[in-house]
């Protein structure tokens, strides 16, 4: 199953060279050509990804790790091959990658695994290791004010179950984290530091390596560092082991892959020490009526029927992105997205009555790294009304609080509009969006 076809075009990267691989980008919405600026929510899938999943289902479909027949063996080989491919995408070894249904499931896995350890359900031989990370009364779980609810609510629940306190690193007016405040929050009582690599509202790239170093020093190496890489995986070249985090999660549907599959990366010693969260078939060695023994990672965390065709399709998405990078140069693709980010943010700044969240002084000295993702509000017009008017022009954006209510409160609003790009986004897409947005306030009579 080949998943690396890229539409032939010039050698210099131009999104037009790949747009033909994304059938949905050619549709019309209400008679208008689609301008898709909601990739931070769900990216579009190239034909190679759709073909990979369809081919698996039509020719190989079978349960993995469970049968001796030919189809089962072939399905297992493809499933584990996909694990190796996706692990390599983030610089990891195959045994360091756990399949999940998405990033939310991965974050809940870690939080509830720690909760199980707090109740004494530990892995024999690894009791001391896991207890370093289990919070209790007087201990802290440190997050940031910018977290997606998926990287906040599970920690609130863990704190409620264990008596710990959740503390948040504040966000500055320019959208960056307050590192001075972070230094004051991290201490020997910190058991978990959970943060996003890139804010799904602000597009700001957080200094993960610096924060990891701060956490290691402040806690004597005791804190478990958990990274939400959902918005960095589509835009940055990731090497999770090099970042120094203990665990990290990302979702397939944000990196040109399918829904219903994601991955959790973990350092080997961390995965070995964490007790299981979901229990059932496929993750055990021996079961009696008195108890059970569990497989080593990653299978320990993969109970039940796995998303096999989705995993194969996610590997195809990784192969597709590598093919694009090999053809045009990874640097050229990154520079294209940087140019989109600048065009998007600068264009929004120039529109009267538009306020960008996390862009207080409009600085553009390169000190703040961002991806092509920006939330904003339009003076006098509710975000949902803005979204509907843009939709009438064929422009798809996100509206609401983007599962980040605390961050929106920080910037004094309950909802915003978010535009986000991907490698298939063109400069014309951004210009059509800005032109449509420029008429919103006049349409609603508030200009």
396 forms beta bridges with 36
Joined together, the tokens standing for residue 234 give: 């589509």
Does a structural domain hold residue 190?
yes
Domain identity same for 145 and 178: yes
| Model confidence band, residue 11 (pLDDT cutoffs 50, 70, 90) | low
Cβ pair 132, 159 in contact under 8 A: no
Answer whether residue 319 shows pLDDT above 50: yes
- What residues act catalytically? 403
Who wins on pLDDT, 30 or 9?
30
pLDDT of residue 13: 86
The last residue of one of the domains, among 294, 318, 342, is 318
Domain identity same for 268 and 127: yes
| Model confidence band, residue 360 (pLDDT cutoffs 50, 70, 90) | confident
Does a structural domain hold residue 273?
yes
Q: Which of these, 107, 392, 409, lies nearest to 251 by C-alpha position?
A: 107
DSSP type of residue 206: P
In the chain, pLDDT over 90 holds for what percent of residues?
94
User: Tens of pLDDT along 333-356?
Assistant: 999 999 999 999 999 999 999 999
Domain identity same for 289 and 380: no
Q: Crossing angle for the helix pair 383-392 and 427-438, nearest 10 degrees?
A: 120
What region does 138 belong to: left with phi over 0, alpha with psi -120 to 50, or beta? Answer: left
Domain identity same for 179 and 260: yes
Cβ pair 252, 276 in contact under 8 A: no
Element (H, E) at 17: helix 16-19
Alpha-carbon span 447 to 440, nearest angstrom: 8
User: Tens of pLDDT along 105-164?
Assistant: 999 999 999 999 999 999 999 999 999 999 999 999 999 999 999 999 999 999 999 999
The last residue of one of the domains, among 286, 318, 350, is 318
pLDDT of residue 1: 39
pLDDT averaged over the chain? 95
Does a structural domain hold residue 11?
no
User: Tens of pLDDT along 239-269?
Assistant: 999 999 999 999 999 999 999 999 999 999 9
Mean pLDDT of 197-226: 98
Domain identity same for 363 and 398: yes
Domain identity same for 35 and 140: no
Residues 302, 308, 314, 316: is their CA dihedral positive or negative? Answer: positive
Domain identity same for 299 and 334: no
| Model confidence band, residue 7 (pLDDT cutoffs 50, 70, 90) | very low
User: Tens of pLDDT along 395-419?
Assistant: 999 999 999 999 999 999 999 999 9
Answer whether residue 211 shows pLDDT above 90: yes
Answer whether residue 447 shows pLDDT above 90: no
Does a structural domain hold residue 365?
yes
Cα-flanking dihedrals φ and ψ of residue 110, to 5°? -65, -45
Does a structural domain hold residue 9?
no
Between strands 284-287 and 28-29, the pairing is unpaired
Domain identity same for 238 and 262: yes
Does a structural domain hold residue 10?
no
Domain identity same for 224 and 171: yes
Domain identity same for 379 and 435: yes
Mean pLDDT of 284-312: 96
pLDDT of residue 166: 98
pLDDT of residue 62: 95
| Model confidence band, residue 362 (pLDDT cutoffs 50, 70, 90) | low
Long-range pairs of 78-82 with CB within 8 A, sequence gap ≥ 24: 78/308, 78/312, 79/306, 79/308, 79/311, 79/312, 81/315, 82/311, 82/312, 82/314, 82/315
Joined together, the tokens standing for residue 312 give: 């194969």
pLDDT of residue 63: 93
The last residue of one of the domains, among 295, 318, 341, is 318
Does a structural domain hold residue 390?
yes
| Start-to-end Cα distance in the chain | 55
Mean pLDDT of 68-96: 97
Domain identity same for 233 and 90: yes
User: Coil, helix or strand for 49?
Assistant: helix
- CATH code at position 346: 3.90.1150.10
| Model confidence band, residue 10 (pLDDT cutoffs 50, 70, 90) | very low
| Model confidence band, residue 3 (pLDDT cutoffs 50, 70, 90) | very low
Alpha-carbon span 242 to 182, nearest angstrom: 22
Domain identity same for 177 and 305: yes
Answer whether residue 6 shows pLDDT above 60: no
pLDDT of residue 361: 67
Element (H, E) at 373: strand 373-378
Cα-flanking dihedrals φ and ψ of residue 198, to 5°? -130, 130
By residue range, what is the domain housing residue 344?
16-45+328-443
Answer whether residue 363 shows pLDDT above 80: no
Answer whether residue 9 shows pLDDT above 50: no
Q: Which of these, 154, 158, 152, lies nearest to 404 by C-alpha position?
A: 152
pLDDT of residue 367: 81
- CATH code at position 251: 3.40.640.10
Q: Where are the beta strands (DSSP E) in 69-108?
A: 97-100
| Model confidence band, residue 2 (pLDDT cutoffs 50, 70, 90) | very low
Count: domains in the chain: 2
Answer whether residue 366 shows pLDDT above 50: yes
Cβ pair 315, 85 in contact under 8 A: yes
User: Tens of pLDDT along 145-159?
Assistant: 999 999 999 999 999
């Amino acid at each position: 199953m080949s998943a690396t076809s890229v539409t032939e075009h010039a050698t210099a990267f131009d999104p037009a060279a790949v747009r033909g691989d994304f059938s949905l980008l050619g549709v019309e919405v209400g008679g208008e050509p689609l301008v898709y600026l909601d990739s931070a929510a769900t990216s579009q899938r190239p034909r190679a990804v759709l073909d990979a999943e369809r081919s698996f289902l039509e020719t190989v479909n079978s349960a993995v790790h469970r049968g001796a027949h030919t189809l089962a063996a072939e399905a297992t080989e493809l499933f584990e091959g996909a694990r190796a491919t996706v692990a390599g995408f983030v610089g990891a070894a195959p045994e360091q990658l756990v399949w999940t249904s998405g990033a939310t499931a991965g974050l809940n896995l870690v939080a509830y695994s720690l909760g199980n350890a707090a109740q004494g359900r530990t892995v024999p031989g690894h009791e001391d290791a896991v207890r370093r990370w289990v919070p209790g009364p007087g201990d802290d779980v440190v997050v940031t004010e910018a977290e997606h609810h998926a990287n906040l609510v599970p920690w609130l629940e863990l704190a409620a179950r264990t008596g710990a306190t959740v503390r948040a690193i504040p966000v500055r007016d320019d959208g960056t984290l307050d590192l001075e405040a972070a230094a004051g929050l991290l201490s020997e009582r910190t058991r978990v530091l959970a943060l996003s690599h890139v804010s799904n509202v602000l597009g700001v790239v957080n200094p993960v390596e610096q924060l990891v170093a701060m956490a290691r020093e402040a806690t004597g190496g005791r804190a478990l560092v958990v990274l939400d890489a959902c918005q960095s995986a589509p835009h940055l070249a990731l090497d999770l082991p090099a970042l120094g985090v203990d665990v990290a999660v990302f979702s397939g549907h944000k990196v040109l892959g399918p829904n219903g599959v994601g991955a959790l990366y973990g350092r080997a010693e961390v995965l070995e020490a964490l007790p299981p969260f979901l229990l059932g078939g496929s993750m055990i060695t021996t079961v009696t009526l008195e108890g059970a023994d569990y497989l080593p990672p990653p299978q320990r965390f993969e109970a039940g029927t796995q998303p096999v065709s989705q995993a194969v399709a996610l590997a195809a998405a990784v192969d597709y992105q590598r093919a694009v990078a090999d053809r045009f140069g990874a640097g050229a693709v990154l520079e294209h997205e940087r140019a989109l980010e600048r065009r998007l943010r600068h264009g929004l700044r120039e529109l009267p009555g538009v306020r960008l969240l996390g862009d207080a002084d409009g600085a553009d000295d390169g000190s703040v790294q961002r991806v092509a993702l920006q939330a904003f509000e339009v003076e006098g017009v509710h975000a949902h009304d803005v979204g509907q008017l843009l939709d009438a022009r064929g422009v798809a954006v996100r509206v609401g609080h983007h599962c980040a209510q605390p961050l929106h409160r920080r910037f004094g609003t309950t909802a915003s509009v978010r535009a986000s790009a991907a490698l298939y986004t063109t400069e014309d897409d951004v210009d059509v969006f800005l032109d449509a947005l420029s008429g919103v306030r006049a349409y609603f009579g508030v200009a």
